[in-house]
Structure 1
Amino acid sequence: MTDLSALIARHLPAPGFFDTPMDGVQLFRVDAPLSRVSTVYPPSLCVILQGTKRVYLNGRTYVYEAGQALFVAMSIPVEAEILAATPEAPVLGLMLSLESRVAAETIVACQAARTSNAPVASAAGADSLSGLGVARWDPAFTEALRRMLDLLGHPEAVRVLGPGRVREVVYAAIQGEAGARIRSHLGGGQEMARIVGYVRDHLHEAISVDDLARRAGMSRAVFDRRFKAATTYAPLQFIKAMRLNNAALLLRQGATVSEAAYAVGYASASQFSREFSRQFNLPPRAWGRAHERESVGSPSVPFISGPTTVAP
């Protein structure tokens, strides 16, 4: 474990993020405690090599530390914090996107290779698996991670071997403790992940829960039950949480209140301000000033497509 964290520290000697040349792989370092702040995690693996992080999802707390990873199978609104970090003992880790080309191809290939003796979780079984959880590394995942990180600093090796090493990490994750969760939401039982992706990409538009149920090919009652099992939120609660958390991200990036409100689908800035204040206990302008440029070791979330453009 120590040598893996040393690899991260060598390539990231100062706090922040490092986009590696490998598809969908980003390193991060945090040198000071970070207060609990709202964000949106995209489909990804957040692997901790040193230190501890906390994530809060609709009343549930997830703590993960060195030797563990947070598996996020679909875009989801959360709160995150780091209670302890110093320049001498930083929190070190990496994010691996599950939406990158290499990761997506690996998940599809694993799904296709599964035999009738090892079927993916059924729709009913998938009800018990939410789209977020913490899992321990196993020896196969640790070795795959080591092999991938060993390429850093060797440009030719990254170009030639990088995609294969990323594939090994994703494959090891699928075969490990979090495999059922990843397969359920990104393999055969991917209806909820697809619907969550639609919500994420259309926050600036009017979204009807009945329309989402039709898109999933389910009755409203079945859709409501499966959606809550996957996300922990009722559909309307999820849409609102996604809108407000994405607006919080935009405010942290310097957007005005009107820009943030419009970008996430609010026609009225005053209504947005009321709902934001109820959620975060501060008016949006004050919240943005308090948290401007703050980060919690998550990758930058792509800006929501919509009529207003704010620099990411």
Structure 2
Amino acid sequence: MIHSQRRQESPLALNIDPRVSVPGDFATAIPGLSLFRRDQPAPPVVCMIEPSLILVGRGEKRLWIGGEGHSYDCSRFLVTSLDLPANSEVLVASPEQPCVGLVLKLDVSMLAEVIAKGRLQATRARPTGTSVGIGQLAPSLEGALDRLLSLLDEPEAIEVLAPLILREIHYRLLNSNQGPRLRQITAVDGQGYRIAKAIDWLKINYAEGLRIDELAARVQMSTPTFHHHFRQLTAMSPLQYQKWLRLNEARRLMLVDHLDVSRAAFAVGYESPSQFSREYGRLFGTAPSRDMAQLRGQPLEA
């Protein structure tokens, strides 16, 4: 009943519609800003969400993190403060009323600058849940996003005006109910900042053997504390996070570089192709070779 009373469309939809004439994901001339369109509901698909602001101008989506779903529509935005493995689901969309929206990557250095200049204190309080949250879309934030989108019609003005509007957007987010979540990643002596540094290391060294005690020491945390906060913020253990990175990179290598299953498995750090295939199937729901055939539009073997 509550759902039916929500706005069905944001003014942002009118600004996005002419820029996304077909379903897909589209980069823009504004660094860090991309747009998307979906013409029908779709089941969850595996994705990596960077620290971002995500919202829809029309329709509804849901992001799954560690088995917990976070729904957002034209009145509620989603924000993430760490690189999070997730599953993205389209709940409401049709060809007549497509689900359209935007993804804006957050700039951690800009967040820190705004905190300093705006006299907003970075918090060391323990975050609740994972590093993802839902906020109410205030008119001030909606207006700033609308002005940012309108700059796409003035490409010569982007270099001068986009940084100003982006700074305002970061300021509005820090003053929203999601502000404490974002301030966590700017406090250099805070747990969120340290976990972010550990994730940066994992993204570069995913193919290497992982010793949790060494990674914890690298970010100046005890092993139990590191493991607890990593799971709390990402909804998975460090080893599970590394496995997710390995499997997704292997998928990319097979699809883009046409590596076979065994070569892709070894390239990302697996010692056993059979173990790789089992874990790949658990994540993507099908065997590697069958997944590649589906992604390439090839006929499946009986």
Q: TM-score, normalised to structure 2's length? A: 0.85
Q: Which has the higher contact order (CA 8 A, sep 6+)?
A: 1
Alignment CA distance shift 1:264-1:179 (3 Å) = farther
Alignment CA distance shift 1:147-1:263 (3 Å) = farther
Q: Which residue of 1 aligns with 2:19?
A: 11
User: Which 5+ residue runs of structure 1 have no aligned equivalent?
Assistant: 294-312
* 1:274 counterpart = 2:278: yes
- Aligned with residue 76 of structure 1, among 72, 84, 101: 84
* 1:285 counterpart = 2:289: yes
Matched ranges for 1:193-208 at <5 A:
193-208=196-211
Tell me the SS of whatever aligns to 2:104. Answer: strand
User: What code does the residue aligned with 2:269 have?
Assistant: G
RMSD: 2.3
User: What code does the residue aligned with 2:163 have?
Assistant: P
Tell me the SS of whatever aligns to 1:151. Answer: helix
Q: Which residue of 1 aligns with 2:137?
A: 137
Tell me the SS of whatever aligns to 2:195. Answer: helix
**Kept in 1: contact 2:210–2:239 (CA 8 A):** no
> Structure 1 residues 35-44 or 104-113, which shifts more?
104-113
Tell me the SS of whatever aligns to 1:126. Answer: coil
Matched ranges for 1:120-199 at <5 A:
120-122=122-124, 125-188=125-188, 189=190, 190-199=193-202
Deviation at 1:93, TM superposition (A): 0.7
Deviation at 1:273, TM superposition (A): 0.7
User: What code does the residue aligned with 1:60 have?
Assistant: E
Larger of the two Rg values belongs to structure = 2
Tell me the SS of whatever aligns to 2:269. Answer: coil
Q: Deviations over 1:193-235 (max 9, x none)?
A: 1111211222122222111101111111111111112112122
Q: Which residue of 2 aligns with 1:106?
A: 110
Q: Distance in 2 between matches of 1:186 and 1:289?
A: 43
User: What code does the residue aligned with 2:95 have?
Assistant: P
Q: Which residue of 2 aligns with 1:59?
A: 67
Deviation at 1:246, TM superposition (A): 4.3
Alignment CA distance shift 1:266-1:130 (3 Å) = same
**Kept in 2: contact 1:251–1:292 (CA 8 A):** no
Deviation at 1:264, TM superposition (A): 3.1
Alignment CA distance shift 1:262-1:174 (3 Å) = farther
**Kept in 1: contact 2:59–2:93 (CA 8 A):** yes
Q: Deviations over 1:225-280 (max 9, x none)?
A: 11112112122222223333444455565744345424432233222112222334
Q: Which residue of 2 aligns with 1:309?
A: none
> Structure 1 residues 184-193 or 38-47, which shifts more?
184-193
Tell me the SS of whatever aligns to 1:135. Answer: strand
Q: Please list every run of at least 4 consecutive aligned residues from structure 1 whose deviation after the TM superposition is greater than 6 angstroms.
A: none
Report how many aligned residue pairs link the two structures.
Answer: 285
Q: Deviations over 1:97-140 (max 9, x none)?
A: 12xxxx2332120233364xx53221xx2242521222221222
**Kept in 2: contact 1:151–1:157 (CA 8 A):** yes
Q: Which residue of 1 aligns with 2:95?
A: 87
**Kept in 2: contact 1:39–1:78 (CA 8 A):** yes
User: What code does the residue aligned with 2:160 have?
Assistant: V
Q: TM-score, normalised to structure 1's length? A: 0.83
User: What code does the residue aligned with 1:121 have?
Assistant: T
Percent sequence identity over aligned pairs: 33
